[in-house]
Structure 1
């Protein structure tokens, strides 16, 4: 399964031994948001720690392809998605509410106040807004809107639309959208082209970097048509694409807006080259792969190692009409693993969670199912500078000391690593240790299955939505049953899976999360904070409610520089790994991409995001050469 890279880290160069008196005390200090950013002056961009790569009036981002031709169709299979989006089916075109299943890439249809630069870890630049001005207390943000900004029906985008949107999302938006707005106290239109967003002062210092990139809706359209998932009607958009042809659950097409009002703006120039971006929906991966082999789908990112190793042996591949390539991954944290739902009583004891992790034999799985393609994951920030390694540094120790007696003891030593097996698929030592942990947790065997003192069986149902996971589960499931856990796997359809995941109606699922390059407090809350444990639709799949985790997230949100943030997140990583809420599985360093040889792309790929549908283009000569023009 894949999950949204919904929010996109910089290395630590200087130390801060003063953490004992600085970051530890951070919640007690004044919240000096954007301390290095000038107030009372219109700014063309914002960065978490004040550094912007591009000056005011810049013509384009460095990774833009200014000479790329416009045209053609990009029929692809998305590798990430956001909000309520579903890659296997859809039954609504509102991708910004909790309920329903929306198609991926609906966000391409909407403009935002500001937009991210993919070659910087935390910078945003003006899109709808030509500038933003910070109030003296840095809790108010006034955006000057571009007068030329238009919705797709030609009506102007006004400050009233923007203010309405933020109020609407705070009340009815998907948890990814409403949570960052928790501390928004006012969204006010000051004339047709000036909008003011004011926060309580309790928001994280990087909150605005997320909030300013939210989609903007038409007030008139929403008031007339509603804002829910009950109808399959697209919201009036304002982005570089609009919804074209579609058939619910089968396909959706996004059509490029040829006379788009923002096409020559610096943050948009040199992107969005395809006339049509099309997504076809297949109920399982095999069907999707067969469609690619036939040429119905032209681009896919391969997530199945067996297919990558052996499946690309078909006529078009042998003829050179289909290409395989590995594209460098982003400098962002990545988490993929199994999640145990602690809303279920049997998984609340950390010893039970550790015992279950001992049953997963990565070495056997990697060799026998994945052709040794993967590297074992251990961290919640794999591949990022926030990953804890070895013993805590002096700076980490200073922060950890605050939580002595509250955080798990394992967090204070060497960073917790996932168990290594003998590769047999049934490592006796690991299973023996798992049985011992379960016995210590009060589970005893009865008729071949473990029971607690109340006579309740220890059950575990692994919920999946694709048959590929049934194969991966073989060794793991056998090991669970071998130590007395009544383990099973249930395959459900895509809509049921989405619904049960959103409502936390599962024992265990697998999930992939792409972290931001500079994680903000709200993004971390989505995954780990107590306040999202009961919020349906959040990504706190494990149901974590831990005051230590909560406080570390709040300290991270108030970090005044990247080095302080790095130390805090390394400590958070240590605590989460010691809690064993997830069983980290594996990761790749590159994107495995296969495509029909009819596209062009720049080798100057940005470091922090990879939206191929915006960066690549249709090459007519190549398409003619392979008979796909």
Structure 2
């Protein structure tokens, strides 16, 4: 699962049947996970339903560019990040624990047992592991490590390092990494080149597809330097880059590892062309934009529609030295919206949450502030086959009926859509409905502010970390105040925002989430399962804790075909939308990218991920032509 904050803001892994009624009882029985994957034999790759594009011994992924030159510096502003990473500042170099603020792209310093193919929805191929053997009960996975695998200091990467890394993450890792390891019982080094991961049998059935992409650390390095966020000492890795120069909170550089052990392997060949990747940190997005205009930053994804429409009129643009391009977005479910924290008593009533959503006027905001750049979002799986539409289909209805009386009645009708306003910024019809819902929920005005029968004021503090929210969401909070809600926007610095979000210390925040193309149970649990609701650092920002949601996520994990998964997730989408826990905002069809014209890139962009720093390369002739050589 990846995180991105876009216009107002930025997980992770893999799952019913659309046949006749006679078969409809079958999907809800326990299924054997990974049923299409062979057991007892060494495999070079895995996928959720057994379909791999690349054969054993493949020399490169189709979207890789082995002919591209190496060299140059890529100074860019990341558009997404993971775990405890922060794009505004950093105070630790450990990206895999809950506390602290780490710089983005620390993951480039570490290799993993297996790595994803970005042109397949859920396939993974051996990296550190040459092969994986799945036990007959599919609860044990044995990995044969490549003998050439090395850490950056030249020491061999062994099964002991792998086993220690998994147990370390299970005990001390970031909650987003810990949760999928809840049912890992043992990580055993059977030999220097063989490691076995043993699960209880209660794990999500495709859990392994995410777990094998975890970073592997040097045990010796961890024992020497510790595994926490207290020091700015990088852990020893084995990936294509290592930490170079840095200044805490100001900049970090990652240097390409010249003798990287895996550079000629199929899963790594044709990537990571830049000699150095640099990220500068700006606490103000205007300062970051000015750095780009001057050429200090070379590549930028623009998340502010107003800036994209009006700000890119400076000399380098007019001279053709800087280009504005639209790059198609990935084919993966996405959600950007406002999240109401149900750990706060005032937001536990769905009527209150719906009323808050009615105060947001997308039509006015999109026209007046965003230059019509966006389309309204409605689904938790926007832009994917898992998005529910219209009335439940014949395939969805039997599963949905299982939860009659346990989920909102609205889930059984037309898929819940966000309200359409008259575009005035203060739609009287929507606000009247919001007032009715609040009154029905027991909130009545007293001295201009809504109170409940206990005399408690209805307050809503919208926590933000960028001044742009003060402009884009002012009308939203004004509508709330017009109804008698004591609403405010609270701007805090990056570290405080991170700390409060991790600790669920907020009324409302905005968040954009990109799920895996084949959403797995681990990612869904991070967002919506009761076991993550109390786990600080998880992405269950809304505090969702509902047995029906838990059961639907479990059913998704047991799906044995993509058709089963699609139907189950559509039902889950219907239920989540009816609960009104998020206020979906908007989406765009493209990445809005501006860059100095000094890079090359393949015309074949992968469908499911876009790590520009690994795919693009420095073009010396172009750089010379624009005076940047």
Q: Check whether TM > 0.5.
A: yes
What's 2:40 paired with?
Answer: 40
Partner of 2:80: 80
The 8 Å contact of residues 132 and 143 in structure 1, kept in 2 or not, is answered as: yes
1:573 and 2:573 correspond: yes
Residues 428, 228 of structure 1: alpha-carbon distance in 2 compared, 3 angstrom cutoff: same
- C-alpha separation in 2, matches of 1:213 and 1:590: 27
1-side partners of 2:13 and 2:41: how far apart?
A: 28
Q: Separation in 1 of the partners of 2:623 and 2:20?
A: 56
Asked if 1:435 is matched to 2:440, the reply is no
| Secondary structure of the structure 1 residue equivalent to 2:196 | strand
Where do 1:54-453 residues align within 5 Å?
54-453=54-453
In 2 relative to 1, CA 450–420 (structure 1 residues): closer, same or farther, beyond 3 Å? same
> Is the CA contact (8 Å cut-off) linking 2:12 and 2:522 kept in structure 1?
no
d(CA) in 2 for partners of 1:64, 1:606: 9
| TM-score (structure 2 length as normaliser) | 0.98
User: What is the distance in 2 between the residues matched to 1:8 and 1:33?
Assistant: 14
CA offsets 1:281-325 (integer angstroms, 9 cap, x no match)? 000211110110010000010100000001000000000000000
CA change 1:550–1:13 in 2 (3 A) is closer
Contact conserved, 1:149 with 1:156, CA < 8 A, in 2? yes
Cα distance between partner residues in 2 of 1:329 and 1:416: 25
Q: Distance in 2 between matches of 1:239 and 1:290?
A: 32
Among residues 22, 25, 29, which one is paired with 1:21 in the alignment? 25
Contact 1:8 1:609 survives alignment (8 Å): no
Equivalent pair of 2:120/2:608 in contact (CA under 8 Å): yes
**Residue of structure 2 equivalent to 1:2:** 4
Confirm or deny: 8 A CA contact 2:89 2:103 kept in the other structure.
Answer: yes
- CA displacement, residues 512-539 of structure 1 (integer Å, 9 cap, x when unaligned): 0001101110110000000111100000
Distance 1:94 1:417 in 2: 41
The number of aligned residues is 624
Give the Å deviation of 1:203. Answer: 1.1
Question: Matches of 2:477 and 2:60 in 1, distance apart?
Answer: 52
Contact 1:340–1:507 under 8 Å retained in 2: yes
Q: How far apart are 1:2 and its partner, in Å?
A: 2.5
Residues in 1 aligned to 2:221 and 2:595: alpha-carbon distance in whole angstroms: 39
Q: What is the CA-CA distance between 1:168 and the residue it aligns to?
A: 0.3
Contact kept, 8 Å, 1:342 with 1:543, in 2: the verdict is yes
**Within 1, Cα distance between the matches of 2:5 and 2:535?**
18
In the alignment, the residues of structure 2 paired with residue 606 and residue 14 of structure 1 have an alpha-carbon distance, to the nearest angstrom, of: 29
User: Residues 207 and 3 (structure 1 numbering): CA distance in 2 closer, same or farther, change over 3 Å?
Assistant: farther
Match of 1:589 in 2: 589
Compute the RMSD of aligned alpha carbons: 1.3
Deviation sequence 1:151-199 (CA, Å, 0-9, x none) = 0010000000000000000000001111110111110000100000011
Please give the secondary structure, in 1, of the residue aligned with 2:512: strand
Distance in 1 between residues matched to 2:266 and 2:516, nearest whole Å: 23
Q: Is the 8 A contact 1:9 1:384 kept in 2?
A: no
Aligned counterparts of 2:423 and 2:316: Cα–Cα separation in 1: 37
Determine helix, strand or coil for the equivalent of 1:394: coil
Report the secondary structure of 2:543's partner residue: coil
What's the offset of the Cα at 1:474?
Answer: 1.3
The answer to whether the Cα contact below 8 Å between 1:116 and 1:122 also exists between their aligned partners in 2 is yes
Matched residues in 1 for 2:20 and 2:362: separation? 37
Change (3 A) 1:106 1:19: farther
Q: Report the alpha carbon displacement of residue 20 of structure 1 after superposing the two structures with TM.
A: 3.5
Give the distance between the partners of 1:311 and 1:627, measured in 2 at CA.
22
CA shift, 1:86, in A, is: 0.3
**45-54 vs 201-210, which deviates more?**
201-210
Cα distance in 2 between the residues matched to 1:266 and 1:13: 36
